[in-house]
């Protein structure tokens, strides 16, 4: 299976390395690297159930996402956003259609190969953080490295460095129950990025946070998640964080309704941006 | 990932302790009840095994167990002695009679009458007095727990006089003997004294103890005795086995203990199984997140099996420890002395705990295997 990955992984897109401190704090617009296609979906259909009880969650959805930017997926509840990212992440199989992620046709991967593809290339951020309550922040953040088979000491060292990047230097040994919602989401961000994935999928990352924490988390995405060879997809209901995305994909009734390209944010626009939901 | 599995397991201490408690309690109940059951059943034939110098027991052919032996004519002794391969054969009496203590207190006792000359069947270990004192007139030796039963709280005093079947008896020794099935005192005396103590009847001797000549096989000689005399002749182990089988097939003891042992198993499955399953259910979203991160099903199954094994090993160890402690303490109580934790019981209960753990994990494994990793995107 490893051989399969190796042959399918595009040679032109090297795995991203953690950026130096200066680059992490630089605005997205200053990162000088040509974007490449990260996701290509064609005619995706997903049906749940059969017969009268069946539900068509996706109806021939097409989507293209490039690296180096944040793509927001918005739309009303039940429009198929979660189903779409589940298929892109290889967590669900489409009923019909094609999905190519980072140059790999997911439909051609065996289940084991798909699991390994996810482990190597995709980072996840969940609405409810999904941190293991019995693990410290550093232990939670190092999980993807352990999954990849790295030694624990090395994994913990890297996760501490990542926690430092997200501003949790003094919280390495804190349990999730000892952290605020915003801090927990930062741990989740560290966990999602610690293995340097080329695709970051975030499901409502600000939904469980208060206004200030939500703003901080989105700002953090801009600083640490965006990378020339990484694509970031964020599913959100929160219209007040839309200005953080470079592309906004509006979905409705299982289809992509329209795609909006947003100009890079300026300091002035950020100052006058509407507050995130409280 | 083993580290992660154990961290997840011990994270919620209350649930972890509940799981361990379930297996511990189950282990304790099963191992303690199995050991008591085996000990009590073994008691029904323990006095057979106490006779170490005779390899063959001869008795009436209708005998089913040790406590039910009709008398046989004294002439049978000579017939047995005449069977080729028999080195020697002596008479032996075992019966239940009434003793009357100093204050006139009546007590049932088990009386064993030994051959006057050889004292074959005499206790192997004396606590007070000497076996040779048994040759004095009216002399009896009593087992330690019998002494404590007849004279509770009193120090051992030899020379005590009391009556057996209204005849004088003098205590000349206290010995160590295996506890009988019915916790009655066991008294040893010479066969000639038994003739005074036993109820008058045409024949008194109910067993012949024999040993085989050098180079002879006990089972073959027993068969020969059976063929030539028409009596039932069994090796010591054969007679012990017959007695045990009778107790198992003709009494309610196995059913009674069986129910308790089954309850122990059911409690183990119910408590440990249910708690472990609930533990898995509560961790489903975390298992889902791990799946999403790239942990495959095989690794998740190994994690669950490790968690279940850890609970099983800890619970089993604590439960067996509690059982051992129980028997250590109860061995100091006279009527419970001699019962102990059998290694076979330990091994059997270990197998049962393994089964409990496997059943508990199977449900959890099934749940995790069918878990869609996409569940992580459903907000809760």
Which residues, other chains included, contact B284 with Cβ-Cβ below 8 Å and sequence gap of 6+?
B367, B368, B371, B375
CB atoms within 10 A of CB A246: 21
| B289/A124 Cβ within 8 A | yes
Residues of A with CB under 8 A from a CB of B: 82, 85-86, 89, 91-92, 112, 115-116, 118-120, 124, 126-128, 130, 132-135, 139, 143-144, 146-148, 152, 203-204, 207-208
Q: Which two tokens stand for residue B212?
A: 């085989």
Structural contact between residues A231 and A268, judged by C-beta atoms closer than 8 angstroms: no
ipTM of the complex: 0.75
Q: Spell out which residues of chain A touch residue B280, defining contact as CB-CB under 8 Å.
A: none
Euclidean distance between CA atoms B278 and B286, whole angstroms:
14
Instruction: Identify which of A163, A120, A111, A117 has the alpha carbon closest to the alpha carbon of residue A142.
Output: A163
The pLDDT, as a whole number, for residue A52 is 79
| DSSP SS3 for B211 | strand
Domain-wise residue ranges, chain A: 2-8+36-265
Which residues, other chains included, contact A148 with Cβ-Cβ below 8 Å and sequence gap of 6+?
A119, A120, A195, B294
Candidates A131, A134, A146, A151, partner chain B, best to mutate (most B CBs within 10 A): A134
Decide if pLDDT at B196 tops 80.
Answer: yes
Structural contact between residues A12 and A102, judged by C-beta atoms closer than 8 angstroms: no
Euclidean distance between CA atoms A28 and A231, whole angstroms:
13
Euclidean distance between CA atoms A207 and B379, whole angstroms:
9
pLDDT (tens digit, 9 = 90+) per residue, B312-347? 999 999 999 999 999 998 887 777 777 889 998 899
Give the residue ranges of chain A where pLDDT is below 50: 1-32, 270, 272-278
Candidates B289, B290, B302, B380, partner chain A, best to mutate (most A CBs within 10 A): B289
The pLDDT, as a whole number, for residue B142 is 95
More confident residue, B51 or A265: B51
Q: Say if residue B341 is exposed, middle or buried (CB neighbours under 10 Å; 0-12, 13-18, 19+).
A: buried
Average pLDDT score over residue span B22-34: 89
**Phi, psi values for residue B230, rounded to 5°:** 80, 0
**B379: nearest CB among A86, A128, A132:** A128
| DSSP SS3 for B232 | strand
**A130: nearest CB among B286, B296, B374:** B286
| A207/B379 Cβ within 8 A | yes
Q: Spell out which residues of chain A touch residue B8, defining contact as CB-CB under 8 Å.
A: 132, 134
pLDDT (tens digit, 9 = 90+) per residue, B197-227? 998 888 999 999 999 999 999 999 999 999 9
Q: Spell out which residues of chain B touch residue A148, defining contact as CB-CB under 8 Å.
A: 294
Task: Quote the strand ranges of A102-178, DSSP E.
Answer: 104-105, 122-125
- Antiparallel, parallel or unpaired: β B139-143 and B167-176: parallel
Decide if pLDDT at B253 tops 60.
Answer: yes
Candidates A147, A196, A205, A206, partner chain B, best to mutate (most B CBs within 10 A): A147
The pLDDT, as a whole number, for residue B93 is 95
What's chain B's average pLDDT? 89
The pLDDT, as a whole number, for residue B291 is 87
**Considering the domain A2-8+36-265, what is its CATH architecture?**
3-Layer(aba) Sandwich (3.40)
The pLDDT, as a whole number, for residue B378 is 65
Domain-wise residue ranges, chain B: 2-44+252-377, 73-230
Q: Say if residue B177 is exposed, middle or buried (CB neighbours under 10 Å; 0-12, 13-18, 19+).
A: buried
Euclidean distance between CA atoms B92 and B110, whole angstroms:
13
Task: Check if B380 contacts A (Cβ < 8 Å).
Answer: yes
Query: What percent of chain B lies above the pLDDT cut of 90?
Result: 48
pTM of the model: 0.73
Question: Alpha helix locations (H) across A46-148?
Answer: 81-88, 111-121, 137-141, 143-147
**B377: nearest CB among A82, A118, A152:** A82
| A133/B11 Cβ within 8 A | yes
More confident residue, B289 or A15: B289
| B372/A203 Cβ within 8 A | no
- Antiparallel, parallel or unpaired: β A255-261 and B125-129: unpaired
The pLDDT, as a whole number, for residue A176 is 92
| A146/B4 Cβ within 8 A | yes
Question: How many alpha carbons fall within 13 Å on the CB side of residue A63?
Answer: 33
Q: Spell out which residues of chain B touch residue A85, defining contact as CB-CB under 8 Å.
A: 377
């Amino acid at each position: 299976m490893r051989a399969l990955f190796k042959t399918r992984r595009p040679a032109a897109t090297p795995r991203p390395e953690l950026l130096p401190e200066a680059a992490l704090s630089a605005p997205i617009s200053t990162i000088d690297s040509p974007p490449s296609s990260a996701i290509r979906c064609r005619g995706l259909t997903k049906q749940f159930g059969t017969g009268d009880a069946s539900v068509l969650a996706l109806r021939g959805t097409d989507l293209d996402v490039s690296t180096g930017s944040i793509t927001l997926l918005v739309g009303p509840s039940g429009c198929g956003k979660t189903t779409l990212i589940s298929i892109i992440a290889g967590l669900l199989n489409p009923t019909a259609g094609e999905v190519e992620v980072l140059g790999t046709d997911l439909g051609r991967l065996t289940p084991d190969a798909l699991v390994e593809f996810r482990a190597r290339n995709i980072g996840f951020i969940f609405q409810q953080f999904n941190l293991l309550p019995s693990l410290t922040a550093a232990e939670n953040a190092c999980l993807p490295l352990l999954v990849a088979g790295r030694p624990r000491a090395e994994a913990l060292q890297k996760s501490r460095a990542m926690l430092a990047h997200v501003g949790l230097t003094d919280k390495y040994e804190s349990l999730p129950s000892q952290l605020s919602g915003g801090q927990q989401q930062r741990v989740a961000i560290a966990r999602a990025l610690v293995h340097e994935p080329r695709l970051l999928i975030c499901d409502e990352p600000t939904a469980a946070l208060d206004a200030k924490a939500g703003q901080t988390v989105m700002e953090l995405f801009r600083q640490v998640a965006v990378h020339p060879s990484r694509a970031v997809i964020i599913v959100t209901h929160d219209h007040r964080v839309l200005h953080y995305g470079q592309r906004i994909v509006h979905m409705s009734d299982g289809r992509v309704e329209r795609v909006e390209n947003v100009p890079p944010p300026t300091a002035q626009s950020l100052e006058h941006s509407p507050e995130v939901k409280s | 990932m083993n580290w992660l599995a154990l961290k997840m397991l011990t994270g919620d201490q209350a649930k972890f302790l509940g799981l361990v408690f379930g297996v511990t309690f189950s282990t304790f109940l099963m191992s303690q009840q199995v050991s008591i059951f085996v000990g009590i059943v073994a008691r029904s034939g323990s006095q057979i095994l106490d006779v170490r110098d005779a390899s063959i027991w001869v008795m009436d052919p209708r005998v089913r167990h040790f406590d039910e032996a009709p008398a046989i004519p004294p002439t049978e002794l000579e017939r047995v002695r005449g069977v080729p391969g028999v080195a020697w054969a002596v008479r032996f009496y075992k019966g239940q009679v009434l003793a009357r203590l100093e204050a006139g207190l009546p007590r049932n006792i088990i009386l064993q009458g030994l051959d006057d000359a050889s004292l074959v069947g005499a206790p192997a270990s004396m606590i007070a007095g000497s076996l040779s004192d048994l040759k004095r007139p009216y002399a009896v030796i009593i087992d330690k727990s019998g002494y404590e039963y007849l004279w509770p709280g009193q120090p051992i005093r030899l020379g005590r006089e009391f009556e057996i079947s209204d005849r004088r008896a003098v205590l000349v020794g206290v010995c160590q003997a295996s506890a009988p099935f019915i916790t009655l005192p066991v008294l040893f005396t010479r066969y000639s004294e038994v003739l005074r103590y036993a109820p008058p009847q045409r024949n008194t001797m109910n067993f012949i103890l024999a040993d085989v000549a050098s180079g002879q096989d006990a089972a073959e000689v027993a068969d020969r005795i059976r063929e030539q005399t028409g009596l039932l002749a069994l090796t010591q182990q054969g007679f012990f086995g017959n007695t045990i089988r009778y107790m198992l097939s003709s009494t309610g003891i196995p059913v009674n203990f069986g129910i308790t042992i089954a309850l122990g198993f059911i409690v183990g499955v119910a408590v440990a199984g249910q708690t472990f399953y609930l533990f898995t259910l509560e961790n489903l979203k975390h298992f889902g997140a791990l799946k999403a991160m790239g942990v495959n099903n095989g690794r998740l199954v190994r994690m669950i099996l490790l968690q279940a094994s850890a609970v099983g090993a800890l619970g089993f160890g604590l439960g067996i420890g509690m059982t051992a402690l129980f028997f250590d303490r109860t061995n100091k109580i006279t009527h419970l002395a001699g019962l102990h934790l059998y290694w076979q019981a330990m091994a059997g209960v270990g197998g049962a705990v393994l089964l409990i753990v496997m059943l508990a994990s199977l449900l959890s494994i099934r749940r995790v295997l069918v878990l869609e990793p996409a569940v992580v995107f459903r907000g809760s």
